[in-house]
Chain A
Amino acid sequence: MSAPTELLKGNATVLILSCLARGPLHGYGIVKALDSMSESYFQMREGTLYPHLHRMEEDGLIEGYWEQASGTRERRMYRITAKGNGELARLQAEWRKFQLNMNHVLDQGATA
């Protein structure tokens, strides 16, 4: 089972930043990392990924650069910036608070 598309789109920034916090990745690598980190729950389509990456780069959250390791094809890599780290911390805190309160509401709804 995969995450609803709208939920995924709405939270693409925090998901991408979480992947890049572990180290620089290219677009394909981000899709794969997200897939493995979430046990295939978050399946981000490439059509969603790249516009987000470019928007985040414009906003200074990530930084893109071209890299060609020996024997591999040229790839555009992305790394998280200091501003991106700050934004990730803010979004993580926001999500945890949301999750906690959501759980409270759901738990009370279930016991009613």
Chain B
Amino acid sequence: MLLDIPPAEKSEVLRELQSHMADIWDELVASGTPASKVEIETERRMGSPQDVAFRINAAHNIASWKSVLLTVLPFLAAFLLLFLQKTHQHWIWPLAATCVITSVVSIRELIRGRRPIWLSSWLAIAMATAVSLVYQVVKYPANPSVIVELKAAVISGLGLSVIFLTSAIAVRKWQLAAGILCGIYLICAFAVLRNGSTGTANFMAIVTGMITQLVMLVIFARIIFELHAYGNAIRASLFLLSLAGFAYLTYIKPWQFGSTAVDILLAAVTAVWVARARNRNLKVRALTIGVFLMAVVGALFDQNLMNKERYFILIIMSLVFSTITSFFFSSLFILIPVWCENWGKQADTPLAIE
């Protein structure tokens, strides 16, 4: 059994255990224990490495209830915003308030170099509300039209690209990819802003713009959470899952889910499950099941599907197809950090308690 915790925490735990073992060693030597028995006795007193690693993994991986509550708060806010969006004309003010509060808290944690599990959902809602806010402000006061909405989406996406580029500049290996992605996005944005709702501009905005932004978000999640000493791939994936849960606030939505209160509820339940799971495998399982359930619910709530098909068997087949495609695309987005970490681990020699 290995220590399955963020690298910086792992390093601190090993330093602490080594210091403790050195103390036991000194005590045994001072008490006149024969040199041949000192090592055996030290190991006996420390207990089995598997057992120690198992307990330490559990202590570090199972989030406290306070952390769980903090993780869930953004989902409650998203639920409330969804309600206000449908019932109040001036829902932009609570949206702005949510954006400011969550952004300030998230930036504070990022600057302090901490990556607690609850930051995944806080940062996700901060970004989703920021995108939504820019979108609403650009759209206002013009009458809603395809051209205005498209332009508003592109302009709010530019803000996302700036955030992404800022984070990527700090990591050498992502600088080139970030430059290329932002370049592609800028070309698309320019085409849309210049041509309005022509077929080419629509294609540029919806297909290319969306794909580049999804890739940007995945890389952003990896930089902020997975590649950080106090973060890991699970937190990166949880950030992406939260973003998918808040998708109704943004226009980035290549899957079926992300528009209903049930989606937010499922994302919240998955986040709690991930936060309280004992080890990495259980957390990955929770994430996968959560994404699958969100895909199923997304397919069930797809109104177009229900209206289009007349025959029961066709509806069922469409539901299955819709679930599979939605699960495939959303997994590709949400679970990529976890897959990348698995890939990296095969080539890496893991650190055991020695």
Q: B16 to chain A: which residues have CB within 8 Å?
A: 27, 50, 76
Q: B52 to chain A: which residues have CB within 8 Å?
A: 46-47, 50-51
The listed residue with most B CB atoms (<10 A of its CB), out of A47, A55, A74, A76, is A47
Q: Are B47 and A45 in contact (CB under 8 A)?
A: yes
Q: How many residues of B contact A (CB 8 A)?
A: 24
Flag whether B198 is at the interface (Cβ < 8 A): no
Main secondary structure of the interface of B (DSSP, over half): helix
Q: Are B55 and A48 in contact (CB under 8 A)?
A: yes
Q: A22 to chain B: which residues have CB within 8 Å?
A: none
B1-59 at interface with A (beta carbon < 8 Å): 12-13, 15-17, 19-20, 22-24, 45-48, 51-52, 55-56, 58-59
Q: Which residue of B lies closest to A55 (CB)?
A: B59
Q: B55 to chain A: which residues have CB within 8 Å?
A: 47-48, 50-51
Bound CA–CA A59/B47 (angstroms): 25
Q: Are A47 and B48 in contact (CB under 8 A)?
A: yes
Main secondary structure of the interface of A (DSSP, over half): helix
Q: How many A-B residue pairs have CB under 8 A?
A: 60
Flag whether A54 is at the interface (Cβ < 8 A): yes
Q: Are B19 and A26 in contact (CB under 8 A)?
A: yes
Q: B20 to chain A: which residues have CB within 8 Å?
A: 26-28, 46, 50
Q: Which residue of B lies closest to A58 (CB)?
A: B64
Flag whether B60 is at the interface (Cβ < 8 A): yes
Counting chain A residues whose Cβ lies within 8 A of the other chain, the interface size class is: 10 to 19
Q: B45 to chain A: which residues have CB within 8 Å?
A: 45-46
Q: A58 to chain B: which residues have CB within 8 Å?
A: 59-60, 64, 67
Flag whether A73 is at the interface (Cβ < 8 A): yes
Q: Which residue of B lies closest to A29 (CB)?
A: B23
Q: Are B17 and A50 in contact (CB under 8 A)?
A: yes
* Residue of A27, A47, A73 touching B47 (CB-CB under 8 A): A47
In the complex with contacts A46-B45, A59-B64, A76-B16, A28-B23 CB distance below 8 A: yes
Bound CA–CA A50/B22 (angstroms): 15
Q: B12 to chain A: which residues have CB within 8 Å?
A: 76
Q: Are A51 and B58 in contact (CB under 8 A)?
A: yes
Q: Which residues of B contact A (CB under 8 A)?
A: 12-13, 15-17, 19-20, 22-24, 45-48, 51-52, 55-56, 58-60, 64, 66-67
